[in-house]
């Protein structure tokens, strides 16, 4: 028979149980408590420093904003211009002989609100050159229409917008000022007189509202507009609310 040598036994490591706080010496417990307190204090100090830094930064930002708001240029822009010296907007419509009836669309092709009010700012949807009989002026600037006819089309767009705003706001006298006008001109690629065309609407608003009718604006040329109209415009106005 073959004798198999006996392997030496392997001793398993003895697991050492960690003592609980109740079993630790009081000195060790006090030391651990001191370390925890120091860490907590350091964290609190760091948070306070961050808070003070943020406050100082916010104060600097606020001081810069106040300084910017007090400059002459900003103060000039904050002045609200007045109406026409010869009357209110509604009175001016009568004085100028503007016919607003029949110009508001009764069955618009798109799905939208004619105007949306946010605070005291109203956003007026795009208006078309609609005549009193409901028909629209058609054509492309630089091809079908002369420069004079294009300017007149923009003026008719302005009259249509006056009719829409009266319907939506109850009276044109509820308008404080015209804030922004965006004009779109349907034109050929060679046509470059878009600003002169949109002047037809801009000058009408100044005739009706006076200084309050002069606004910021854009005059953009495009290759086509709905229904084949030559001009479309939208506006942002401030209301008395």
Mean pLDDT of 126-134: 96
% of residues, the chain, pLDDT over 70: 71
Q: How do residues 53-89 score in pLDDT, each as one tens digit?
A: 655 555 454 444 545 557 999 999 999 999 999 999 9
Mean pLDDT of 146-161: 98
Tell me the pLDDT of the chain averaged across its residues: 85
Residue 163 has pLDDT above 80, yes or no: yes
pLDDT for the residue 128: 97
> What is the 3 state secondary structure string of the chain?
CCCCCCCCCCCCCCCCCCCCCCCCCHHHHHHHHHHHHHHHHHHHHHHHHHHHHHHHHHHHHHHHHHHHHCCHHHHHHHCCCCCCCCCCHHHHHHHHCCCCCCCCCCCCCCCCCCEEEECCEEEEEEECCECCCCCECCCCECCCECHHHHHHHHHHHHHHHHHHHHHHHCCHHHEEEEEEEEEEEEECCCCCCHHHHHHHHHHHHHHHHHHHHCCEEEEEEECCCHHHCCEEEEEEEEECC
% of residues, the chain, pLDDT over 90: 67
């Amino acid at each position: 028979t073959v004798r198999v040598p006996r392997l030496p036994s392997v001793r398993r490591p003895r697991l050492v149980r960690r003592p609980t706080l109740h079993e630790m010496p009081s000195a060790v417990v006090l030391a651990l408590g001191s370390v925890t307190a120091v860490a907590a204090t350091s964290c609190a100090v760091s948070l306070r420093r961050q808070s003070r830094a943020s406050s100082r930064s916010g104060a600097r930002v606020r001081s810069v904003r106040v300084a910017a708001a007090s400059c002459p240029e900003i103060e000039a822009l904050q002045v609200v211009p007045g109406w026409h010296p010869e009357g209110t907007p509604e009175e001016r419509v009568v004085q100028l002989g503007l016919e607003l009836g029949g110009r508001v669309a009764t069955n618009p092709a798109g799905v939208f609100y004619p105007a949306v009010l946010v605070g005291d700012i109203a956003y007026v949807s795009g208006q078309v050159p609609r005549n009193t009989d409901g028909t629209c002026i058609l054509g492309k600037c630089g091809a079908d229409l002369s420069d004079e006819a294009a300017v007149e089309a923009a003026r008719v767009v302005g009259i249509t917008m006056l009719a829409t705003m009266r319907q939506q706001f109850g009276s044109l006298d509820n308008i404080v000022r015209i804030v922004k006008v965006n004009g779109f001109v349907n034109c050929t690629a060679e046509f470059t007189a878009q600003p002169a065309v949109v002047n037809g609407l801009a000058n009408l608003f100044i005739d009706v509202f006076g200084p309050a009718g002069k606004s910021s604006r854009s005059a953009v040329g495009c290759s086509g507009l709905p229904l084949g109209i030559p001009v479309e415009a939208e506006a942002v106005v401030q209301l008395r609310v």
